[in-house]
Amino acid sequence: MTADTGLGTHFAGLEAGELRVARCRVCGGSRFPPKPVCPHCRVSGGIDWFTAAGTGTVWSFAVFRKAYFPPPGPQPPYTVAVVQLTEGVKIISTVTGGDVHVGMPVRARFERANGVALVRFDPA
């Protein structure tokens, strides 16, 4: 895709309804957010961006019972999870549904809140 080393490509993907993550040009390992040194092969160098499938599993989660932002921000209770994408990279986002559990299969859904494109995950 592109050699952008910042998050601009990721956010542009969200605007387009795509979940874009970085891949190391040396070893091919996926990572998010992009880092200057690959956590897999420990080589500093370029990355390429690719569009992930948008599927994965809940790796960890927490249920928030306090409102940290006024509406239209998330209102309690809501679940924030670490989702391990099918491609192996982990991303933090909100997961819908009341029976969230570790290992639960999820699928990305794109929405806008306060004019910002976001990714959320629903049970698959």
Chain centroid to CA 26 = 23
Answer whether residue 60 is part of any domain.
yes
Four-residue CA torsion sign, 33, 39, 45, 51: negative
C-alpha 110/C-alpha 49 separation (Å) is 18
pTM flag (> 0.85)? yes
Under 8 Å between Cβ of 98 and 53: no
Answer whether residue 2 is part of any domain.
no
Position 3 pLDDT exceeds 60: no
For position 33, what pLDDT does the model report? 87
Query: Are residues 44 and 99 located together in one domain of the fold?
Result: no
Segment 53-84, tens digit of pLDDT: 999 999 999 999 999 988 877 889 999 999 99
Query: Are residues 74 and 19 located together in one domain of the fold?
Result: no
Query: Are residues 61 and 112 located together in one domain of the fold?
Result: yes
The three-point CA angle 28-93-123 to 5° equals 95
Query: Are residues 41 and 81 located together in one domain of the fold?
Result: no
For position 114, what pLDDT does the model report? 82
Query: Are residues 28 and 78 located together in one domain of the fold?
Result: no
Number of domains in the chain: 2
User: Residue 7 — very low, low, confident or very high, per pLDDT cuts 50/70/90?
Assistant: confident
Full domain range(s) for residue 12: 8-51
Under 8 Å between Cβ of 22 and 48: yes
Listed in sequence order, the residues at least 6 apart from 24 whose beta carbon sits closer than 8 Å to its beta carbon are 30, 31, 38, 40, 41, 43, 45, 47
Position 4 pLDDT exceeds 70: no
Query: Are residues 14 and 42 located together in one domain of the fold?
Result: yes
Answer whether residue 1 is part of any domain.
no
Query: Are residues 64 and 103 located together in one domain of the fold?
Result: yes
Mean pLDDT of the chain: 90
User: Residue 13 — very low, low, confident or very high, per pLDDT cuts 50/70/90?
Assistant: very high
* Weakest mean pLDDT among 4-8, 34-38, 89-93, 100-104: 4-8
Query: Are residues 59 and 118 located together in one domain of the fold?
Result: yes
Answer whether residue 41 is part of any domain.
yes
